[in-house]
Amino acid sequence: MKRILYIEDNTSDVALFEEAIKDNGIEVELQVITDAEEFLDLINAADASTKFPDLIISDVSLPKINGAELISHVIQNKYYSSVPVVAYSTSSYQKDIDACLANGAKQYYQKPMNYYDTQKLIKDICDKWL
């Protein structure tokens, strides 16, 4: 079974993401981390025996450490560097998009404003990256 690691601090967005996965019938093991520092602890503790996700999806507007900086930590980690990371954010600021892509995100997706579009986008992300 494919694994997604979703980094998101907003519980409503997590619930929406989980519902979209379920409604699309996507069979994945979903791990949610709500704090960027918790994620950094996770990747810093990784070794060759770690069970790695197949995809990391990260919000950009995270407290303490922003998503672009978090992405750079993933890319620099010898164990996680081969895991594709995509940014998933409400931000449409070009500086956020550019920072995420410059730091190694494979793609930047803007969160839709309604459930139907969210469900479709989550399916598209999973179809492309899993």
Residue at 74: amino acid letter = V
For residue 19, pLDDT over 90 is answered with yes
User: What is the mean pLDDT of the segment spanning 103-112?
Assistant: 97
Widest CA span in the chain: 40
Q: Look up residue 104 and give its two tokens.
A: 């190694």
User: What is the mean pLDDT of the segment spanning 2-16?
Assistant: 96
List CB contacts of 7: < 8 A, sequence separation 6 or more.
32, 33, 34, 36, 39, 56, 57, 58, 59, 62, 67, 70
Domains (range + CATH), the chain:
2-129 (3.40.50.2300)
Percent of the chain having pLDDT more than 70?
100
Please choose, from the candidates 84, 100, 109, 106, the residue with its C-alpha nearest in 3D space to the C-alpha of residue 20. 109
User: What is the mean pLDDT of the segment spanning 104-128?
Assistant: 96
Q: What is the pLDDT of residues 22-44, one digit of tens each?
A: 999 999 999 999 988 899 999 99
Give the HSE-up count for residue 61: Cα atoms under 13 Å, Cβ half-sphere. Answer: 9
Percent of the chain having pLDDT more than 90?
87
Q: What is the pLDDT of residues 40-65, one digit of tens each?
A: 999 999 888 889 999 999 999 988 88
